[in-house]
Each structure stands twice: as structure tokens, then as C-alpha cells.
Amino acid sequence: AQKVTQAQTEISVVEKEDVTLDCVYETRDTTYYLFWYKQPPSGELVFLIRRNSFDEQNEISGRYSWNFQKSTSSFNFTITASQVVDSAVYFCALSLPYQGGSEKLVFGKGTKLTVNP
């Protein structure tokens, strides 16, 4: 069975601080996909990134960066120079491939990030 653990329930930072959200996953499959989603107070889940299990390259997108390490089964997310608009709940998720597409998403419990001005 697949499992995603986000140990940090809530994080509070001051604007312009860097913050890292941790994600540890469990699966016996060798091919899988990892995701990060953002859920602002409005409730809609916003897709941030997808990572394939066979691609361990780290990725940077503006102030966002992701560190994927298969050796530790982790897929951590760092926001550099945080802003108040980054305040949201962030979910890490795992899915398996199925017939050329994607199986269900297994979500972590989420980390609530509050960025104070």
C-alpha cells in the first residue's frame, strides 16, 4: 500500500524567510509519480509540480524548488523568500501509473503554512 507522510502539521514564518515543507512517501512500486498541490483558503487544489520516480533531478520554478531523493523516499518543497500570498495548505501526493494514465492520488495530511507580514 502507498502512504505519504507530512510530519509538519503547521508552520509559521515571517515574510521573506525561506521555508521547507517535508514529504516522505512509501511504495513498493518502482514506477510512481509524486505531486505537490497548494490549497488556498478558497478550497481549490492548485497543481504545483509532478515528479516521475525515474527522474531525480531537482527542479526550480521561481521561488519554488523541489528536492527529490529516492534514497530517503523524500520529496521536499522549499519556498524561498516567502510571501503572504504563499499562505495555504500544501499537500504532497503519490500516484501509480495505470494503463497509460494515472491511478488515484494518495495524499499526505497537508502542512498549513502561514506567512506573516
Partner 1 sequence: EAGVTQSPTHLIKTRGQQATLRCSPISGHTSVYWYQQALGLGLQFLLWYDEGEERNRGNFPPRFSGRQFPNYSSELNVNALELEDSALYLCASSSRHHKVYEQYFGPGTRLTVT
- Interface with partner 1 by CB under 8 A: which residues? 33, 35, 37, 42-47, 50, 91, 95, 97-110
Q: In terms of CB distance, is 15 or 40 closer to partner 1? A: 40
Q: Checking phi first, is residue 73 left (phi over 0); if not, alpha (psi -120 to 50) or beta?
A: left
The nearest distance, CB 117 to partner 1, in angstroms, is 27
Q: In terms of CB distance, is 64 or 107 closer to partner 1? A: 107
Q: In terms of CB distance, is 106 or 115 closer to partner 1? A: 106
List b or e across 44-66, with b for residues whose CB sees 16 or more CB atoms inside 10 angstroms. ebeebbebebeeeeeeeeeebbb
